Amino acid sequence: MWLQREIELRPRPRGFHLVTDEVVDALQPELRDVGVGLLHVHILHTSASLTLNENASPDVRRDFETWVDHAVPEDFAWTHTLEGADDMPAHVKASIMGPSLTLPVARGRLALGTWQGIYLCEHRDRGGARSLVATLNGERA
């Protein structure tokens, strides 16, 4: 089976936000019917990204934000500045983190590790709603 769905995520402030439940909920009831497969999730923006990481401690999300802000500062000799001081750094951060994830599906669920979750990495102060394209492929259970 193949399923493709666009998922709109509500606007969030700059930071790293767990969106696993939103992605899973948007793929029901079809996801429950997949015995084995893959889910590909792609973000349709160049100033936000996706990553998979630890889903329990909020310290991890804060540390990610601290690191990327240090690694890619706004106070730099950027030439692309028409959309604000946070725009070009957001593009660079999005390229570093990446636009998509491919995740295994088993027995009707994402086959993630105990402490893994999908993050929306919002790199703009006010990025607005973000859209994902989720493509699910697999064999029915």
Residue pLDDT, tens place only, 29-59: 999 999 999 999 999 999 999 999 999 999 9
Residue pLDDT, tens place only, 52-104: 999 999 999 999 999 999 999 999 999 999 999 999 999 999 999 999 999 99
As a whole number of angstroms, the distance between CA 139 and CA 56 comes to 31
Specify the pLDDT at position 106: 98
Specify the pLDDT at position 134: 98
Class in CATH terms, 2-140: mainly beta
Specify the pLDDT at position 125: 95
Cβ(96)–Cβ(72) below 8 Å: yes
Token pair recorded at residue 88: 């070009």
As a whole number of angstroms, the distance between CA 102 and CA 133 comes to 12
Token pair recorded at residue 38: 């893959």
Cβ(45)–Cβ(63) below 8 Å: no
Reported pTM: 0.95
Q: Give the burial class of 70: count Cβ atoms within 10 A of its Cβ; 0-12 exposed, 13-18 middle, 19 or more buried.
A: exposed
As a whole number of angstroms, the distance between CA 92 and CA 81 comes to 13
Domain ranges in the chain? 2-140
**Model confidence at 129, in pLDDT bands (50, 70, 90)?**
very high
